[in-house]
Structure 1
């Protein structure tokens, strides 16, 4: 054996020694063995099928037309409809196709982290996971708050009517109950989401059926209001780097940010790739149906609401869909819609919490995080990853997140761009990786398909406020710092294991010499 082979063997032994250190366990919890691949040391009783994964993805991205009011207020009827018809073909479709191909090729809970790591190495893999998780976990804090807001709206009250401590207890209780439900397993989350989907989308189905007879198609082509655009530009906060933020009577920053927010996050489904039955078949089907559900879930209610109402552009504030429902069908439908909006936040919370927790688990399995985050419960769910996500949600649930959402949106855009570029690079550098599902286009065709997607995402980032850009710089700097600290820790541990092995070899050699001398074998 030559020196190079011997050095390689020692390196692998050192890595194995590091990865096999004792890890904390809970009764009923399991952690993957060192060196294991995608197989877990327990058997999942039930895996996600096409329907369950479709609904979970739908709620990971959309959850219905709740929250589209800002788009109408920023751009008017015509450009709102145009945006929700065109942009799914630029953002949603491409993200879903990328996720289907790479998730089937890399069925790991780390999701996009695995793709970027394979394409660009550990540092970029870490940054992708870090930015995606920070954005998702912090965003998830708003759903318990919105749920309580809708419940209070039904009762005629407001969350301002209850004290801060009481509010904190309510938010904490809701978060803990939902986290426990999540801990019981993805099949439970899937079935719960299906039930909520039927209840939450039913008032919009009724709205479309009843309102279809009241639609005046000429209202769909109403141009944006210049005065409202100016007011929206003032309301949207801080200055941008570019002067075209309100060009053409459209407030482009809130308009594009709202479209982006409502049409993206299909990549979160990649965190469940190892939990589905036959990923090569299930993933593309579920993602395809979810794109259709997301697009139609916006377009059809908007066609009816904008065509059947004389509402001004400035009237479209948060929750205005309930006013439209009352105009079209009566107060009973408005109350039902508010209730549906409230429980829809439960499914949004569950989908986001699941994907964030599984991503943390995948990052721990890859060595980015302490192995404790890879511990699974007997239900197959990552116990400590769920706990950390829930704690952050509870801590931030009493915080004003309005400005923070745009900032987190910016960071998510960065991680998404990493994934798009990684997809294209892997098509070139690793063409022979087994892909159970592959987009039926050549590499050149994929470049053409994804170029508008990347450009549109960059435009959203270009319109960000200076405050958002500064915030993102701090968050990214912290991410690189955390990776460097972790990298140094691993290097020191690796060096320590190497030193211990060298000492053991010296001791063994000394014992061998002493034994040989005593038996007279030397000389």
Structure 2
């Protein structure tokens, strides 16, 4: 039996459920306002679509087509299959453990605290860096729109990062990207319902415009643009798939809203499946139309690519102006939802004591984590203002793929450890589905640039240092387990419900260091544990 001092103690599944969406999703001491359950199934699915569609489609062709040529379509299929397998794994875990922590909490419950903490840091790459990357893309579309409509655009020192293009320039900042993040910050602070509804409107607009693009682009379809189909061979398709996978991140953001929907056991899987079908369908339609409408040599370094494709096809700027205007409005939704996902993961980590408690503070008026949101937006704004897009996209991909692989592994572990627990959804073809998902994620990681791997290694080292310096010493679970051991209660740290709910909050803070001296020589089993019959015997207190 592991000691409570181990960095691999596991968060009990039942405790997570009691604390989160179906129970006390409150501040660290169990008091205060809760997150408001105000998101419908449709709005939740639109959050997944909104966070995903546009992230890659609006500008990733300029990166992926030079790598794979017309075979970028196959790269989209590989990325879609990987995302689909992972989405099924997310659906099972989200229906079993409905919590704002998403991958972080799933890993905490299956692989232990340290691994969960590292996955949480991978999610920082996925959400915060993704939000910044999309804000940079939004800035490019804004400049394109201004040029087409008004004949002028923002100067470089107000619209590009200091070292954009591979060399350092005189002082500059991507001001439109910073402004976009600031707007998202205020909207998210206003309330979850308001943010979800605004996102749904923008997503419907975005889907309509992409359908318009496909129809117009097909009028200029040239089969010759598909030859040669794969000039870089299989290696090119693999490299492009790694880059294109950036365009599929966002589906998992649905699971971060688990504590803000009713009946998450059913709502989360449904929303994930709906979003996956919509995203894959629209991506394939746009990819086939785009590659067929323009020679592959024109994609390289092509900013605001879809608008330029329509201008090339029609010989007129009318449709491209419409597309640019819609992109300026709709890409907003991606930054909005990715920042939302980041704040909810940080909320869960703070509630567990992994990061400072201020990140779990919920405003009594808006029922949102306002301090958390402000800090997150500050970081995202700095990234968007000073880092170029190509660097950001690869960092997002490797962080996301790492988290996805661990989640798929978590499905296997939870099936073996808790085979009888309630699951609103089960992945089909188990265990093949999670195993293939893991292999696909690792393959895509292998196709990324070695510099990206090195950067992730440095990022993980920093994460380990912060865990040792703060997370380990402030872990709420560890404090409760140590208090129970000091009281003479034998606990299983491998995923048991070790402390009764009524005493957990009292023992999760500094008071956990002191335990009443007068204890019965044979302490009785806490009442909260006697009813815990949903877990197998080896997952309960001995």
Q: Does 1:121 align with 2:112?
A: yes
Identify if the C-alpha distance between structure 1 residues 218 and 408 changes in structure 2 by more than 3 Å, giving closer, same or farther: closer
Q: What is the aligned counterpart of 1:428 among 395, 416, 419? A: 416
Q: Give the superposition deviation at 1:160.
A: 0.2
Check conservation: 1:127, 1:415, Cα contact below 8 A: no
* TM-score, length-scaled by structure 2: 0.74
Q: Give the superposition deviation at 1:325.
A: 0.8
Structure 1 segment 268-283 matched on structure 2, within 5 A: 268-283=253-268
2:189 corresponds in structure 1 to: 183
1:407 corresponds in structure 2 to: 395
Q: Does 1:53 align with 2:39?
A: no
Identify if the C-alpha distance between structure 1 residues 466 and 57 changes in structure 2 by more than 3 Å, giving closer, same or farther: same
CA distances 1:168-202 after superposition (whole Å, capped 9, x unpaired): 66544432222110112222222112221233333
Distance in 2 separating the partners of 1:103 and 1:97: 10
Identify if the C-alpha distance between structure 1 residues 186 and 497 changes in structure 2 by more than 3 Å, giving closer, same or farther: closer
RMSD across aligned C-alpha pairs, in angstroms? 3.0
2:386 is paired with a residue whose SS is coil
Check conservation: 1:103, 1:111, Cα contact below 8 A: yes
Identify if the C-alpha distance between structure 1 residues 414 and 82 changes in structure 2 by more than 3 Å, giving closer, same or farther: closer
Distance in 2 separating the partners of 1:485 and 1:174: 34
CA distances 1:144-175 after superposition (whole Å, capped 9, x unpaired): 33323322222222440548889566544432
Q: Does 1:260 align with 2:245?
A: yes
Distance in 2 separating the partners of 1:47 and 1:346: 21
2:68 corresponds in structure 1 to: 75
Q: Give the superposition deviation at 1:268.
A: 2.2
1:488 corresponds in structure 2 to: 473
2:331 is paired with a residue whose SS is helix
Identify if the C-alpha distance between structure 1 residues 289 and 208 changes in structure 2 by more than 3 Å, giving closer, same or farther: same
Distance in 2 separating the partners of 1:406 and 1:427: 32
1:464 corresponds in structure 2 to: 448
Q: Does 1:320 align with 2:322?
A: no
Distance in 1 separating the partners of 2:126 and 2:268: 24
Select the structure of larger CA radius of gyration.
Answer: 1
Q: What is the aligned counterpart of 2:327 among 337, 341, 348? A: 341
1:367 is paired with a residue whose SS is coil
Check conservation: 1:148, 1:159, Cα contact below 8 A: no
Q: Give the superposition deviation at 1:368.
A: 1.5
Q: Give the superposition deviation at 1:365.
A: 1.6
CA distances 1:306-360 after superposition (whole Å, capped 9, x unpaired): 2344554655734222122113343111111122222232101101010000111
Q: What is the aligned counterpart of 2:156 among 133, 139, 160? A: 160
The 10-residue stretch of structure 1 (260-269 or 476-485) with the greater mean CA deviation from structure 2? 260-269
Identify if the C-alpha distance between structure 1 residues 216 and 178 changes in structure 2 by more than 3 Å, giving closer, same or farther: same
* TM-score, length-scaled by structure 1: 0.77
| Structure 2: runs of 5+ lacking an equivalent | 5-24, 148-152, 163-170, 484-509, 520-542
2:385 is paired with a residue whose SS is coil
Q: Give the superposition deviation at 1:421.
A: 0.7
Identify if the C-alpha distance between structure 1 residues 173 and 463 changes in structure 2 by more than 3 Å, giving closer, same or farther: closer
Count of matched residue pairs: 446
1:97 corresponds in structure 2 to: 88
CA distances 1:92-144 after superposition (whole Å, capped 9, x unpaired): 22122112221121111111222111111111111111221244212322333
1:418 corresponds in structure 2 to: 406
Distance in 2 separating the partners of 1:185 and 1:104: 25
Distance in 1 separating the partners of 2:454 and 2:134: 26
Q: What is the aligned counterpart of 2:353 among 357, 367, 370? A: 367
Structure 1 segment 216-235 matched on structure 2, within 5 A: 216-217=222-223, 219-220=225-226, 222-225=228-231, 229=232
Check conservation: 1:91, 1:264, Cα contact below 8 A: no
The answer to which structure has the higher helix fraction is: 1
Structure 1 segment 494-509 matched on structure 2, within 5 A: 497=511, 500-501=514-515
Identify if the C-alpha distance between structure 1 residues 208 and 129 changes in structure 2 by more than 3 Å, giving closer, same or farther: same
